[in-house]
Amino acid sequence: MPKSHKKKLRKIKRRRKNNNLGVFILVGFLACFIIFVIIREPINEQVGKKTDTVDQKQDMPSRSKKRNKKEGKILTHDKKSTSVSDRKALGTNQIREEKNTPEVAIVNTIGKLGIPKSYYRKRNTEEYTIYNVPIDKSIMDLVYANMIFKGELESNGAKFIKGTDNPGKQTLLFNFPNVPKQYQINIYYDSELYKNKQTRRTITLVVDDFGPVGGDLLEGFLALDKEICFAILPDETYSVLTMEKAKEQGRTTIIHIPMEPIGYPEVNPGKNAILVQYEDRQIDKVLSHFIEQLPYCEGVNNHMGSLATTDEEVMSAVMATLKKHNKFFLDSRTTNISIAYAIAQKYHIKSYRNDLFLDSPNISQSTMDAKLNQIIELSNNNKNVIAISHCHNFEKLQYLKRIINRLKAAGFTLVPITEIDKYNVPEIL
């Protein structure tokens, strides 16, 4: 084939390729345009509908006014004309706002304290919103109620300004963010209001570790309520003296028997402790010596003994001796797995169990608050609560004095350990 003819064929092919490319571009452009139109039309329709709806709503007042003018009435927009969905939205917003109001926080706190709605009162002055909240003395003391109010309201954004403390009444003052008025909470005892609800609450207090303690510290503890029982370590300098002074007061004393703890000998229970390796005759000899030394003591409790009180053979030997000498047993419960109380019952010995240690882990204000709360909770299910403290120093004496005052303020009666059973008689009798 001549070269000139080949060149012509090449040009025709190039033109066809160029023409095909143009066709493809044109088809693509048309497809995009069609898609755009299809998408755009529903949007326009929706916008148009919205615009029409808005226009109709804007025209509604004037039309309704014209229509009602003929009827001699003129209607304006009010809550009734609000749509259902708008009302729902409005209600939800109002609920959200109400949840955040100071009033809701205060009322919720009152509810947590178990105070019926009909008992508290609210009133307003120019400067204050005042809540008068009566407290059931047999359920809690004012310090506890004060602590709950401060904790709850501060967690809801309130700022505590100041508080005043008068006999039988405390006043707390709070600020809330973006609220011009201050909130005053008056908490006070109202025995008349709660007189039909009050129940007798009793507590027995035992103070451990007397014997090494003498002088002014001993005299300070002897000045406490005579219902408080002293647990005396034997073979110590002031053991017999403490027993004799307590006897003169009519105070109950018990022997605080050293027993082997977990970790012995690194953890030392003191002189003449009862060890798990002892045979029955050795245990009887040690206990009989203690009883002879402290004859006015009416019972015993264990000092340490987190290991000994879990050993059935050791506890059986202890109870056999106590039964012979007609002494009762108080399980200090220095371990949660103690079997001492159960063994004492098997031997038909009068026996008791400690419910809590008042000064453990420390004697801080927070510990005192927690212990008081625990005692109140225990008293809801127990006719009497037994608690143990210690006499090591003046700080523990002052701590015990404060907690006794708070227990009395909360409606508790101190009961000697020897009289617990007298308070367990059913009320119907």
Cβ neighbours of residue 205 closer than 8 Å, sequence gap 6 or more: 227, 228, 229, 358, 387, 388, 389, 400, 404, 414
The one-letter amino acid at 137: K
How far apart CA 50 and CA 272 sit, in angstroms, is 95
Residue 246: name the closest of 267, 224, 265, 263 by CA: 224
Instruction: Assign 41 a pLDDT band (cuts: 50, 70, 90).
Output: very low
Which pLDDT does position 22 carry in this prediction? 61
Q: Tell me which DSSP letter residue 260 carries.
A: P
Which pLDDT does position 262 carry in this prediction? 96
How far apart CA 251 and CA 132 sit, in angstroms, is 42
Which pLDDT does position 149 carry in this prediction? 93
CATH H superfamily, domain 201-424? Glycoside hydrolase/deacetylase (3.20.20.370)
- Is 92 in a helix, a strand, or coil? helix
**pLDDT of 177 higher than 60:** yes
CA triple 313-317-320, angle to 5 deg? 135
Side by side, the strands of the sheet bearing 182-189 are 121-124, 128-135, 182-189, 169-175, 159-166
**pLDDT of 79 higher than 50:** no
Fold of 99-189: Beta Polymerase; domain 2 (3.30.460)
Which pLDDT does position 259 carry in this prediction? 98
Which pLDDT does position 272 carry in this prediction? 95
**Domain coordinates of the chain in residue numbers?**
99-189, 201-424
Cβ neighbours of residue 230 closer than 8 Å, sequence gap 6 or more: 206, 207, 210, 221, 242, 246, 251, 252, 253, 254, 391
Using omega within 30 degrees of 0 as the cis cutoff, is the peptide bond preceding 361 cis?
A: yes
Tokens 């039988």 locate to 168
- What mean pLDDT do residues 49-70 have? 42
Helix then strand then coil, in percent of the chain rounded to 5, is 50, 20, 30
- Better pLDDT: 136 or 210: 210
Note the pLDDT tens digit of each residue in 91-112. Answer: 444 433 344 688 999 999 998 8
The two three-digit tokens of residue 249, written as one number: 């007061």
Instruction: Assign 193 a pLDDT band (cuts: 50, 70, 90).
Output: confident
- What mean pLDDT do residues 287-306 have? 98
Q: Exposed e or buried b for every residue in 250-274, given b needs 16+ CB within 10 A? A: ebbbbbbbbbbbeebeeeebbebbb
**pLDDT of 89 higher than 90:** no
Which pLDDT does position 388 carry in this prediction? 98
Instruction: Assign 23 a pLDDT band (cuts: 50, 70, 90).
Output: low
* Selection from 141-150, 196-205, 254-263 with the highest mean pLDDT: 254-263
Instruction: Assign 35 a pLDDT band (cuts: 50, 70, 90).
Output: low
Q: Tell me which DSSP letter residue 114 carries.
A: T
The two three-digit tokens of residue 88, written as one number: 């729902």
Which pLDDT does position 124 carry in this prediction? 94
Which pLDDT does position 200 carry in this prediction? 74
Of 92-101, 161-170, 253-262, 410-419, the poorest mean pLDDT is in 92-101
pTM for this entry: 0.59
Instruction: Assign 421 a pLDDT band (cuts: 50, 70, 90).
Output: confident
- What mean pLDDT do residues 11-35 have? 59
How far apart CA 143 and CA 187 sit, in angstroms, is 10
- What mean pLDDT do residues 232-259 have? 98
Alpha helices by DSSP H, listed for 272-393, are 280-293, 312-325, 340-346, 365-379
The two three-digit tokens of residue 49, written as one number: 């509908």
CA distances (Å), 121 to each of 33, 113, 128, 185, in order? 73, 15, 14, 10
